[in-house]
Structure 1
């Protein structure tokens, strides 16, 4: 019997070297990396521009949050359209619309328009932001479906996203402060347009659209019936994972605000960047390690084992922050939280591939990335309120509360995390499905 690519993927040890040797990978990885930079530049660029024109950080944060929430809520709909009609068909008009809406937002800010106009302009600016990361993940899933390399791909994307959020804000800040307050948004729109068009041109590696798959199944002479694929939200396991990732988002938002408040309260605001940096470094190191390991346990077991550890780490940080100004200890525990975040996040993105059919996979990935953004907004808001009213260290209870609630949902609905593939379950992890009975 001739060996198939899937057989070779299963036989070899999954790792980054093997992943990057996947046929066609570099054709979408390079433009995808460029095109996803604006995602990390958008909100900080809005903050810097609006603060410059209004003199209010509070107003700037509110406008930025409006764009972020709009992006999180609308992104899954663009993902659903991409699943149905193809990524290129959705991405090309989207990047042009995004450039226009960013231009409108910049004009409103620089022309001293009424404050309500800033919020109105922020909605389409966020709603049209291209969702490159979910599209890249969907391309990996289309090429690696049924192989252990999906976990490696999820880890690789997690590291890439983290790196993006290191480079993007730094670039945006340098442009806004060194060139012009609107230069960050101008660069965001330009990179989004160029990078998005180049990425969209890589049609050979994009997943087969549901519309084309349906037409092929019905026969070449049969016109498309117009049936729409089911939404990813119709799958119970996907809803559970959205809640899990929402909880992880509260860690990102809550830690960022709480560390800022904590370092200012002890009179050492300059170490805030270092403390958040070690948290991010722990996250990146864990992500690299997760992708290099050949897991013997399935993603469901890994998530249910890893999430309680994340909750415990968040609890240690919250309790320690109440005990005194122990910056070194708090930094070490922050690193521990980062080490716990990455395995849970990566496992959620790995698991969604086993739960959601190919026809709704881009939408599913956008729901997860959107949930991170919503959780981040909620975590930062709650942490800020707690820090203002109950002391600087109280903000750390926001990520603890978010992860505890998410863990409760995971435990209550853990059976939904097992895929319904006609009796096929992931007995040894992704790519090793075996027909067994599920109680």
Structure 2
């Protein structure tokens, strides 16, 4: 097995013995026979569908905001800036929401964030068509990002806590690997098909429909996620608990390099979608951009799930380096297709497929590393920082790539996915040497 998986769990990966005993159904002789043998038994049949649908509003935010503002205010530059404000809000408050969950528990924090996010989404839907100035739109977008409920990191934190606290020790590592693969796959499904949902709703019901739909989904499914019994799987800290690791532990080199890699993945998402939209517009098929983009998601989700089948000798650092190189190859192909004299749609589709095959396993790998390297008592915070990196990268890349496409053309815009892939690869190389030294 790889060095990452063989070494003892790092701080934050496993609960303290007392907490584990409290979580485990086998903590007493009377309840031992009731110990769940699989993760599905532990979380119940409704958890995974709820957690999947609850992710979609988070994945729809950036593209939905862009679509609404461009249609309502007739300004691509304002739309890109508004999307960037969503990312800025998430960057400022996403990790704080995770820290609050570590301190007070997930249920009250996710409930409060869900209510605030639903109201912020509805506020944007109103201000976009109101006579108020651009400041109102930008402010509402910032509130949307700041109140995003952070379902993906909360879900990972819950499941890691359940696996390490309730399942038999012999099944924990294999279940953890498969769970990280599944979580990354459903993240990929949400982040790729979220824009497709936005496009369908906007085309069928108007530009405000995706934002209103996201508000409704948040109110129903994020609330259900918050109230699910698994919200108590990651207990909050009190004065009687072992003190969590200091905040500075979140900025260790091993964790920071992973967060840079996650940011690169977000940059790939945003730049690929925007440059693809520009490419399809040049080809006279702008309305098909969402469908073309979903082709990348199919390969990505499939290979993310397949990552659970990788041999244990294929270490996490080797996986990251391998699939980061594959993303770079796909980005090169996309740039060649965009720079050709005539639109090379077939080459573009092949390039998107290659990027997707690389992105899926890379997501699995980096989130597995975040789970391993989370400091004691800071798992939700670390997971929130990682997921925030995706939204920040997606927002920033969408704004930058859109401005380049509008002012300099698709060929220049297609350089941004290439640079984003380079960020992932450089982070993978640094992680290779950091992992060896560890």
Taking structure 1 as the reference length, the TM-score comes to 0.80
Q: 1:258 to 1:187 in 2, by over 3 A?
A: closer
Q: 1:235 aligns with which of 252, 255, 279?
A: 252
Indicate yes or no: 2:271 matched with 1:254.
Answer: yes
After TM superposition, list the pairs within 5 Å mapping 1:264-303 onto structure 2.
264-269=281-286, 271-303=288-320
> Do the aligned partners of 1:355 and 1:417 also contact (CA within 8 Å) in 2?
no
After TM superposition, list the pairs within 5 Å mapping 1:170-319 onto structure 2.
170-176=196-202, 178-179=204-205, 181-212=207-238, 215-217=240-242, 229-230=246-247, 233-269=250-286, 271-319=288-336
Query: How far does the alpha carbon of each residue in 1:344-369 deviate from its partner, in whole angstroms, 9 at most, with x for none?
Result: 11100011111113511111111111
Q: Which moved more, 1:362-371 or 1:24-33?
A: 24-33
Q: 1:346 aligns with which of 347, 364, 367?
A: 364
- Looking at structure 2, the residues matched to 413 and 296 of structure 1 have their Cα atoms a distance apart, in angstroms, of 17
After TM superposition, list the pairs within 5 Å mapping 1:138-177 onto structure 2.
138-145=157-164, 146-165=172-191, 168-176=194-202
> Do the aligned partners of 1:29 and 1:136 also contact (CA within 8 Å) in 2?
no
- Looking at structure 2, the residues matched to 395 and 180 of structure 1 have their Cα atoms a distance apart, in angstroms, of 28
| 1:142 CA displacement | 1.2
Q: 1:286 to 1:405 in 2, by over 3 A?
A: same
Q: 1:411 to 1:25 in 2, by over 3 A?
A: farther
- Looking at structure 1, the residues matched to 205 and 399 of structure 2 have their Cα atoms a distance apart, in angstroms, of 30
Counterpart in 1 of 2:394?
376
- Looking at structure 1, the residues matched to 63 and 405 of structure 2 have their Cα atoms a distance apart, in angstroms, of 22
Q: 1:181 to 1:279 in 2, by over 3 A?
A: closer
Q: 2:86 aligns with which of 48, 54, 67?
A: 67
Instruction: Return 5+ residue gaps in structure 2 as ranges.
Output: 1-20, 25-36, 165-171
> Do the aligned partners of 2:72 and 2:128 also contact (CA within 8 Å) in 1?
yes
- Looking at structure 2, the residues matched to 172 and 313 of structure 1 have their Cα atoms a distance apart, in angstroms, of 25
Indicate yes or no: 2:345 matched with 1:327.
Answer: yes
- Looking at structure 2, the residues matched to 274 and 95 of structure 1 have their Cα atoms a distance apart, in angstroms, of 29
Q: 1:393 aligns with which of 411, 423, 431?
A: 411
- Looking at structure 1, the residues matched to 356 and 275 of structure 2 have their Cα atoms a distance apart, in angstroms, of 15
| 1:27 CA displacement | 4.5
After TM superposition, list the pairs within 5 Å mapping 1:75-86 onto structure 2.
75-86=94-105
Instruction: Return 5+ residue gaps in structure 1 as ranges.
Output: 7-17, 218-224, 419-437
Counterpart in 2 of 1:120?
139
> Do the aligned partners of 2:56 and 2:194 also contact (CA within 8 Å) in 1?
yes
> Do the aligned partners of 2:107 and 2:231 also contact (CA within 8 Å) in 1?
no
Q: Which moved more, 1:399-408 or 1:202-211?
A: 202-211
- Looking at structure 2, the residues matched to 68 and 120 of structure 1 have their Cα atoms a distance apart, in angstroms, of 12
Residue 26 of structure 1: SS of its match in structure 2? Answer: coil
Q: 1:321 to 1:85 in 2, by over 3 A?
A: same
Residue 250 of structure 2: SS of its match in structure 1? Answer: helix
> Do the aligned partners of 1:162 and 1:284 also contact (CA within 8 Å) in 2?
yes
Residue 314 of structure 2: SS of its match in structure 1? Answer: coil
Query: How far does the alpha carbon of each residue in 1:105-137 deviate from its partner, in whole angstroms, 9 at most, with x for none?
Result: 334334321221221222112211111111111
What is the aligned residue count?
A: 397
